[in-house]
């Protein structure tokens, strides 16, 4: 039996951090043996909010590829590609845009949220409104069965199914209806206790050097009620403790006990974490640094993956054009 198809993507908006890793990338790595996987760099999607500043776009594209590989995505197992190198995505996006009602896009919760949050940018654009339509084209192009995404992306996946249904209804059955793949994600807060996010400046990235990571750990926010080591602590409100849960699995209960009993000081606790975190972070950091020493090689890998993706995309577009009855019956 042929394997089910999995597809997911990430925007090249800067260095991958631990929040991205445990929220998504870590799961992608584990899916590679069981499924036919397509993972891609969504550079057109980066333009939907970042069209005015494209200075770092290429650099971010190549460094995202380095992060992907350093974290365990394997170009020999999965098709890893760049969206803008597969222009068929734009054609499918265009055909979908002909029949998606505006109201479907306007009522999308991510659309409304982002308009409110990104007040400093003018994203009242046609492209930004069409974000989920382009995402549907990405997914349906490869006839994906499953899309591993976080909860925030569920409305986009729902919309993708609606778009597939509408297309199938208008032109005959062409697309499957992809399902989300919700795998358990480990939750890591940022170094200040809020959600880890670049816009809060509270991330730990694979681009950070081991020394920077150590400093960030030593500056992490802990239980504010603890002043002296002997004060009983509340590990459940402490971001250091949330990290221990992920990185010190064997010891974390003991750490919690010692904190509550006032037997361990925060400095000591952070030093322990810095050690554990380094075991995980340093090898990935070194691998990514080494990969980035040869950007031409990374570009070559991106080109190869994109050529593989394109073979599928060209086939899908033949079916799509035939279904829509657009163009010539015997097109060259």
Q: Which residues bind ligand SF4 (CB under 6 A)?
A: 222-223, 226, 233, 235, 238, 240-241, 259, 264, 266, 269-270
Q: Which residues contact 310 (CB under 8 A, 6 or more apart)?
A: 81, 85, 86, 88
Contact between 11 and ligand TRP by CB under 6 A: the answer reads yes
Contact between 45 and ligand TRP by CB under 6 A: the answer reads yes
Q: Determine what percent of the chain falls in helix, strand and coil, rounding each to the nearest 5.
A: 60, 5, 35
CA–CA dist 150, 135 (Å, integer): 14
Q: Which residues contact 234 (CB under 8 A, 6 or more apart)?
A: 223, 225, 226, 259, 260
Distances (CA, A) of 313 to 138, 143, 180, 198, 232: 10, 10, 21, 33, 60
Closer to ligand TRP by CB, 1 or 126: give it: 126
Distances (CA, A) of 147 to 60, 123, 139, 142, 254: 23, 26, 8, 11, 38
Per CB under 6 A, the segment of 1-9, 25-33, 305-313, 320-328 that binds ligand TRP is: 1-9
Distances (CA, A) of 151 to 157, 217, 239, 289: 10, 28, 22, 31
Per CB under 6 A, the segment of 133-141, 222-230, 295-303, 323-331 that binds ligand TRP is: 133-141
Q: Look at residue 266 and give the partner it binds from ligand TRP, ligand SF4, none, a contact being a CB closer than 5 to 8 Å depending on partner kind.
A: ligand SF4
Closer to ligand TRP by CB, 153 or 239: give it: 153
Single out the residue of 5, 6, 8, 242 in contact with ligand TRP (rule: CB under 6 A).
Answer: 8
Q: Which residues contact 103 (CB under 8 A, 6 or more apart)?
A: none
Q: Look at residue 46 and give the partner it binds from ligand TRP, ligand SF4, none, a contact being a CB closer than 5 to 8 Å depending on partner kind.
A: none
Contact between 16 and ligand TRP by CB under 6 A: the answer reads no
Please, are residues 216 and 182 in contact by the beta-carbon 8 Å criterion?
no
Burial group, residue 291, by CB count within 10 angstroms (0-12, 13-18, 19+): buried
Please, are residues 174 and 316 in contact by the beta-carbon 8 Å criterion?
no
Closer to ligand SF4 by CB, 240 or 313: give it: 240
Closer to ligand SF4 by CB, 117 or 219: give it: 219
Contact between 135 and ligand TRP by CB under 6 A: the answer reads yes
Shortest Å distance, C-beta 228 to ligand SF4:
11
Q: Look at residue 241 and give the partner it binds from ligand SF4, ligand TRP, none, a contact being a CB closer than 5 to 8 Å depending on partner kind.
A: ligand SF4
Size of site (CB under 6 A) for ligand TRP: 13
Q: Look at residue 149 and give the partner it binds from ligand SF4, ligand TRP, none, a contact being a CB closer than 5 to 8 Å depending on partner kind.
A: ligand TRP
Closer to ligand TRP by CB, 81 or 252: give it: 81
List the x/- string, 148-187, binding to ligand TRP by CB under 6 A.
-x---x----------------------------------
Question: Applying CB under 6 A, which residues contact ligand TRP?
Answer: 7-11, 42, 45, 135, 138-139, 147, 149, 153
């Amino acid at each position: 039996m042929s394997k089910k198809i999995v597809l997911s993507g990430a925007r090249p908006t800067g260095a991958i951090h631990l929040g991205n890793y445990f929220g998504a990338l870590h799961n992608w790595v584990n899916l590679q043996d069981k499924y036919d996987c397509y993972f891609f760099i969504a550079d057109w999607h980066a333009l939907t909010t970042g069209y005015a500043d494209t200075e770092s776009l290429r650099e971010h594209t190549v460094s995202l590829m380095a992060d992907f590989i350093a974290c365990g995505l394997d170009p020999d197992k999965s098709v890893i590609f760049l969206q803008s190198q597969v222009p068929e995505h734009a054609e499918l996006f265009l055909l979908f845009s002909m029949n998606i009602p505006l109201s479907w896009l306007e009522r999308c919760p991510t659309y409304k949220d982002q308009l409110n949050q990104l007040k400093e940018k003018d994203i009242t654009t046609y492209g930004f409104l069409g974000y989920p339509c382009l995402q549907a084209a990405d997914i349906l192009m490869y006839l994906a069965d499953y899309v591993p995404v976080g909860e925030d992306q569920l409305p986009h996946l729902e919309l993708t199914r609606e778009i597939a249904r509408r297309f199938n209804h208008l032109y005959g059955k062409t697309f499957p209806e992809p399902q989300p793949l919700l795998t358990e994600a480990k939750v890591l807060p940022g170094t200040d206790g809020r959600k880890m996010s670049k816009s809060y400046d509270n991330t730990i990235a694979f681009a950070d050097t081991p020394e920077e990571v150590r400093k960030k750990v030593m500056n992490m926010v802990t239980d504010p009620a603890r002043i002296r080591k002997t004060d009983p602590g509340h590990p459940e409100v402490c971001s250091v403790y949330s990290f221990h849960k992920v990185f010190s699995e064997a010891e974390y209960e003991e750490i919690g006990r010692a904190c509550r009993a006032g037997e361990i000081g925060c400095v000591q606790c952070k030093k322990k974490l810095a050690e554990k975190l380094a075991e995980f972070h340093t090898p990935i950091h070194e691998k990514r640094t080494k990969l980035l020493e040869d950007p031409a090689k990374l570009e070559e890998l991106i080109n190869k993956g994109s050529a593989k993706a394109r073979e599928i995309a060209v086939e899908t577009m033949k079916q799509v054009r035939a279904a829509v009855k657009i163009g010539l019956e015997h097109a060259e």
